[in-house]
């Protein structure tokens, strides 16, 4: 690479958006210290870093057994949450520090409570919405397949972008499954990462691509790089 290209590349890297960093979300893996395999948390209660509203929810530990079926592995850690506890659709939410104007990528993993041996998969789906400061920021549906049961959770990853408007923000996940009061969407492995503003990141990546193209054009087909 010529001295001029080195200089341009260095300048582009210096102007690049800061590296992404995780926001201070507590217990994104939805772990519980409860004894046994199920922790039911009532509405208007905060447990394990998350506040519950709507109906109750359940923290479920891998290995729970019932009716001849055993719950498979969590996506992260040992526990995850069923957003339909025993009373219908519930919500979990958490407020944490953010930077006003900063963009964040929210990642989460979803499955569905198919019931032991697939007993609650007949409706074909479990669904949820993700909330950012109370507004819907994402919606996801887990489509049950033939053979779904507790031992076959088939975790699916989802992500979306949001922008903070204040020094604190609230992230929530609410079940929209109503067919089975005690079998809703499973959620696990939630993370929030600060990222560059989408348009700025795209422009920066395009600039780096142009530099690479210029470098390729300046080198003749038969040229060999200098030692």
pTM (two decimals)? 0.81
State the pLDDT at residue 21.
74
Q: Name the more confident of 209 and 2.
A: 209
What percentage of residues in the chain have a pLDDT greater than 90?
A: 74
State the pLDDT at residue 195.
96
Mean pLDDT for 60-73 is 97
DSSP codes of every residue in 118-177: GTT-TT-EEEEEEEETTEEEEEEEEE--TT-BTTB---EEEEEEEE--SSEEEEEEEE--
Q: How confident is the model at residue 202 (pLDDT cuts 50, 70, 90)?
A: low
State the pLDDT at residue 188.
99
State the pLDDT at residue 217.
53
State the pLDDT at residue 223.
52
**Average pLDDT of every residue of the chain:** 86
Mean pLDDT for 114-127 is 95
What is the largest distance, in Å, between two alpha-carbon atoms of the chain? Answer: 72
Mean pLDDT for 131-156 is 97
Both tokens of 11, joined, read 């300048």
Mean pLDDT for 204-220 is 51
State the pLDDT at residue 197.
86
CATH class of 22-195: mainly beta
């Amino acid at each position: 690479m010529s001295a001029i290209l080195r200089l341009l590349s260095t300048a582009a890297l210096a102007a690049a958006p800061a590296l992404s960093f995780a926001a201070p979300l507590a217990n994104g893996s939805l772990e519980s210290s409860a004894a046994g395999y199920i922790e039911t948390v009532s509405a208007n209660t905060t447990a394990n870093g998350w506040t519950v509203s709507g109906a109750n929810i359940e923290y479920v530990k891998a290995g729970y057994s019932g009716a001849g079926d055993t719950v498979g592995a969590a996506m992260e850690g040992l526990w995850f949450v069923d957003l339909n506890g025993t009373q219908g659709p519930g919500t979990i939410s958490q407020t944490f520090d953010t930077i006003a104007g900063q963009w964040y990528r929210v990642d989460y993993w979803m499955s569905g409570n198919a019931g032991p041996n697939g007993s609650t998969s007949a409706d074909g789906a479990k669904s949820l919405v993700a909330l950012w400061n109370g507004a819907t920021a994402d919606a996801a549906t887990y489509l049950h397949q033939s053979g779904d049961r507790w031992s076959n959770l088939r975790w699916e990853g989802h992500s979306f972008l949001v922008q903070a408007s204040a020094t604190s923000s609230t992230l929530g996940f609410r079940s929209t499954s109503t067919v089975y009061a005690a079998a809703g969407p499973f959620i696990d492995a939630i993370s929030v990462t600060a990222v560059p503003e989408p348009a700025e990141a795209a422009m920066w990546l395009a600039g780096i691509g142009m530099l690479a193209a210029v470098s390729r054009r300046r080198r003749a087909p038969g040229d060999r790089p200098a030692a």
